[in-house]
Amino acid sequence: MGKDIHKSVFDEGTLTKLAILREYIKSWFPVFLRDQKHFWERIQIYDFFAGEGSDIIGTNGSPIIILEELRKYCPTIKERNLKVDLVFNEFKTIKYNKLTTTVQKFLSECRLSGNCPCDDSTECPFNFSTENKDFTVLFNELYPEMKRTSKMPKFMFLDQNGIKFINRDIFSKLISLERTDFLFFISSSFAKRFAEVPEFMEYLKVSRQEFESSKPYDCHRVILKYYKSLIPLYKNYYLAPYSIRKPNNGNIYGLIFGSNSPFGLEKFLTTAWKLDKHTGEANFNIDNDPIIQGDISLFPEDNVIKKVELFKNSIIEFLKETPRTNKEVYLFTLESGFIPPHTIEILKELQRTNHIIVKSIWGSDKIKKGSYFLQYKPKREVLIRYE
């Protein structure tokens, strides 16, 4: 049985995980408030392994972090007559009781703060449901309604202890939901350790050989590869990892993010690069780059971050194959685990050295130098050709 994180102070790894959750909610939620093309009646958020709501010294856990970030937008939510459905689930009864108390305390303090737009005569825009059920049972109970409201924005946080809950069936259902982003926690070291135990293989069909052929810190990347293999070939779906090394035992844990939308992927990767400015992928030196540790080599080629250098080479090869639209370059960037600012710097360098030409797809309009429009919905369509 894993350590009960709510009976101690959250460690650095848990705080990293919660920081990612906070930053993503902070960037994800306002998107739907600013959307002028759609009128959303509801936005739905699920925290399926909510825990008690805080650690032993009161540091906020996922449910309260979600509430803190949403509370900032209460006036706008009410102005737009929007409802936000929140489902907090905790299977263990003792933890569930504490969770309910913690959430109610937060709401009471919110109303008493003087900053809450709701009063006794005004209905709260948040519709709460606290559940005390096994995850699989609850998810399958809710899934028909999730499918029916598939076009409504949804976010799911699945902070499971281990790996067994996100099996092939649950994963397939998650990626079938049209406008749903999810973030699930996974014990990658645990997966590596038990890769060929029959009971474990029921949940994750990755062989020990696949783990052993990768570097020690690559176990989370191997698991990401497994989940990518479950996505049907006809379906465009986006996954990204973030690896977390626990400070006390060195075990590798991680998060896997999923979205139907490249814009959702961009939001997550922006959060990841904000926390890890070297690779956007881990809270440690995942590729063991000496330069990250401050070790300077006499050979300039060694004083680069491997992942960044590989990406630079891959984007050049991508452009050499055939002229690419800015949308193609945008998607290639995200699927490589990078964000548009990285690619823009590479393109600027290539343009300065006359290696690329950027032209408008429509007409003969001149494109200002340094403009590539690497966006989810670009204002201009351009073609980038390697010379």
What pLDDT, in 10s, does the model give residues 298-345? 444 454 557 888 899 999 999 999 999 999 999 999 999 999 999 999
Mean pLDDT of the region 25-52:
88
Q: Is residue 293 part of a domain?
A: no
For residue 298, the model assigns a pLDDT of 41
For residue 214, the model assigns a pLDDT of 66
Amino acid identity of residue 162, one-letter, is G
Q: 225 and 111 share a domain?
A: yes
Q: Is residue 32 part of a domain?
A: yes
Mean pLDDT of the region 80-87:
91
Q: Is residue 295 part of a domain?
A: no
Q: 257 and 332 share a domain?
A: no
CA distance 323 to 328: 10
Q: 254 and 356 share a domain?
A: no
For 198-231, the pLDDT digits (tens) are 766 777 777 777 767 666 567 778 888 889 999 9
Q: Is residue 287 part of a domain?
A: no
For residue 207, the model assigns a pLDDT of 77
Q: Is residue 44 part of a domain?
A: yes
Q: 68 and 213 share a domain?
A: yes
- For 338, the domain range is 300-386
Lowest mean pLDDT among 56-70, 108-122, 301-315, 352-366: 108-122
Number of domain units in the chain: 2
Q: 311 and 254 share a domain?
A: no
189-195 own/partner pairs: CB under 8 Å, 24+ apart: 189/219, 189/251, 189/252, 189/253, 190/162, 190/163, 190/251, 191/163, 191/219, 191/223, 192/219, 192/222
Q: Is residue 282 part of a domain?
A: no
Q: 13 and 149 share a domain?
A: yes
Q: Is residue 312 part of a domain?
A: yes
Lowest mean pLDDT among 5-14, 22-31, 44-53, 62-71: 5-14
Q: 259 and 327 share a domain?
A: no
CA distance 65 to 112: 19
**Whether pLDDT at 234 is above 80:** yes
Radius of gyration of the chain (CA): 23
Q: What percent of the chain has pLDDT over 70?
A: 83
Q: 358 and 305 share a domain?
A: yes
pLDDT class for 295, splitting at 50, 70, 90?
very low
Mean pLDDT of the region 101-110:
87
Q: 255 and 162 share a domain?
A: yes
**Whether pLDDT at 297 is above 50:** no
CATH number, position 73: 3.40.50
Q: Is residue 286 part of a domain?
A: no
For residue 294, the model assigns a pLDDT of 46
For residue 296, the model assigns a pLDDT of 47
3-state secondary structure the chain: CCCCHHHCCCCHHHHHHHHHHHHHHHHHHHHHHHCCCCCCCEEEEEECCCCCCECCCCCECHHHHHHHHHHCCHHHHHHCCCEEEEEEECCCHHHHHHHHHHHHHHHHHHHHCCCCCCCCCCCCCEEEEEECCCHHHHHHHHHHHHHHCCCCCEEEEECCCCCCCCCHHHHHHHHHCCCEEEEEEECHHHHHHCCCCHHHHCCCCCCHHHHHCCCHHHHHHHHHHHHHHCCCCCCCCEEEEEEEECCCCCCEEEEEEEECCHHHHHHHHHHHHHHCCCCCCECCCCCCCCCCCCCCCCCHHHCCCHHHHHHHHHHHHHHHHCCEEHHHHHHHHHHCCCCHHHHHHHHHHHHHCCCEEEEECCCCCCCCCCCCCCCCCCCCCEEEEEC
Q: 154 and 214 share a domain?
A: yes
For residue 162, the model assigns a pLDDT of 56
Q: 264 and 343 share a domain?
A: no
Q: 157 and 269 share a domain?
A: yes
